[in-house]
């Protein structure tokens, strides 16, 4: 690209989609990811795109309702550390617990699943693919205001700012507009830079960026919070596992290939809507079918 502005906007788009710099990911994986999510415009767009919808009550409300239906069949705070397969059963275990079943489904990102000890060992090529997978780096920054003041100037709150640490911003206000909420994404290397500071300093950095984007009223933050998803032990980042250059073509295997009594799920294993919750749901249904059809 000859234009510096175009190069910067391409970098913002890449970081917004993958949460990493373009140089760190496989071009083949990037093409697959885009294709699995329809096309690039769908990934980027709000109106009729992947960024269009929010879930009232938060995405976690889906999990809470599913958990309520399943009741005490869910076992909380049981981190699996070992999976031992035998001829007719598989045993999963961790600190203070052990469960045995005919089959098991592992539905965590590859970067997390490789922390489990498998007996026998996962096939070499599949294990190397899992080990090569890495998560993006994202910090979500929320600034709460007494009202969505930017709307009075017919601004929709959507900003792409390649020179700011919060390079992508959305209006995340409640449906009724009772409060104004700007949600900024700090992505890839910018997220790492932002997290070098304490939260009070991060607030000032974000506030300064929002003032540039929306004017002096953006300084009147009632409440600020942020979240680094790299700190989450069971995801280690977001949005989903990716692969560096050459790995896919060299190993020529799939994350989704069953290993005896172990079946793999998670959005990284989905051929459609890879990286999204829809992909995760589809992968779970696919893994369940694999077992039911044996």
CATH number at residue 247: 3.50.50.60
pLDDT at 4 (0 to 100): 84
d(CA 82, CA 267): 22
Residues 196 and 128 in one domain: no
Mean pLDDT score of the chain: 94
For the segment 265-287, the average pLDDT, to the nearest whole number, is 97
pLDDT at 46 (0 to 100): 86
Residues 122 and 185 in one domain: no
The lowest-confidence range among 117-121, 199-203, 237-241 is 237-241
d(CA 135, CA 252): 20
By three-state DSSP, how is residue 75 classified?
Answer: coil
For the segment 211-218, the average pLDDT, to the nearest whole number, is 96
Between these two residues, 47 and 104, which has the higher pLDDT value?
A: 104
Whether 6 is covered by a domain: the verdict is no
Measure the CA angle with vertex 275, ends 66 and 54; round to 5°: 55
DSSP 177: -
What is the span of the domain harbouring residue 88?
Answer: 70-134+241-292
| Domain of residue 160, CATH code | 3.90.660.10
pLDDT at 3 (0 to 100): 83
Residues 267 and 124 in one domain: yes
Residues above pLDDT 70, as percent of the chain:
100
Pair type for strands 104-106 and 262-264: parallel
pLDDT tens for 72-110 read 999 999 999 999 999 999 999 999 999 999 999 999 999
Residues 158 and 203 in one domain: yes
Q: Burial level of 226, CB count in 10 A (0-12/13-18/19+)?
A: buried
pTM assigned to the model: 0.90
CA distances to 161, 192, 220 from 212, in Å? 10, 22, 13
Dihedral sign for Cα atoms in the order 146, 150, 154, 160:
negative
The count of domains in the chain is 2
Residues 130 and 160 in one domain: no
pLDDT at 175 (0 to 100): 85
Q: Does 56 have pLDDT greater than 90?
A: no
Residues 145 and 192 in one domain: yes
Please check whether residue 29 is in contact with residue 240, taking contact to mean a CB–CB distance below 8 angstroms. no
Token pair 């960024």: residue: 51
Q: Burial level of 162, CB count in 10 A (0-12/13-18/19+)?
A: middle
Q: Does 153 have pLDDT greater than 90?
A: no
Please check whether residue 181 is in contact with residue 143, taking contact to mean a CB–CB distance below 8 angstroms. yes
Whether 174 is covered by a domain: the verdict is yes
DSSP 23: G
Residues 220 and 144 in one domain: yes
Token pair 């780096």: residue: 137
pLDDT at 1 (0 to 100): 66
Whether 261 is covered by a domain: the verdict is yes
């Amino acid at each position: 690209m000859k234009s510096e502005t175009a190069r910067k906007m391409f970098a913002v788009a890449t970081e917004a989609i993958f949460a990493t710099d373009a140089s760190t990911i496989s071009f083949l994986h990037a093409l697959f990811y885009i294709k699995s999510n329809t096309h690039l415009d769908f990934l980027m767009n709000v109106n009729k795109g992947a960024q269009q919808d929010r879930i009232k009550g938060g995405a976690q409300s889906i999990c809470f309702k599913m958990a309520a239906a399943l009741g005490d069949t869910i076992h909380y705070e049981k981190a699996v550390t070992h999976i031992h397969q035998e001829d007719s059963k598989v045993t999963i275990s961790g600190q203070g617990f052990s469960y045995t079943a005919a089959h098991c489904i592992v539905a965590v990102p590859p970067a997390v699943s490789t922390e489990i000890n498998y007996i026998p060992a996962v096939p070499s090529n599949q294990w190397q693919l899992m080990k090569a997978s890495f998560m993006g780096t994202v910090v979500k920054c929320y600034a709460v205001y007494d009202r969505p003041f930017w709307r009075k100037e017919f601004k929709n709150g959507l900003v792409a700012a390649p020179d700011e640490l919060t390079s992508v911003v959305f209006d995340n206000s409640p449906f009724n507009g009772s409060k104004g909420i700007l949600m900024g994404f700090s992505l890839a290397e910018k997220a790492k830079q932002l997290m070098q500071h304490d939260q009070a300093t991060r607030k000032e950095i974000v506030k300064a960026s929002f003032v540039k984007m929306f004017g002096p009223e953006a300084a009147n933050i009632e409440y600020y919070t942020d979240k680094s998803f790299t700190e989450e032990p069971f995801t280690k980042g977001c949005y989903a596992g990716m692969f560096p250059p050459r790995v896919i073509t060299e190993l020529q295997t799939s994350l989704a290939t069953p290993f005896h009594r172990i079946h793999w799920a998670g959005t990284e294993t989905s051929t459609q809507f890879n990286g999204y919750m829809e992909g995760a749901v589809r992968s779970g249904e696919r893994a369940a079918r694999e077992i039911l059809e044996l």
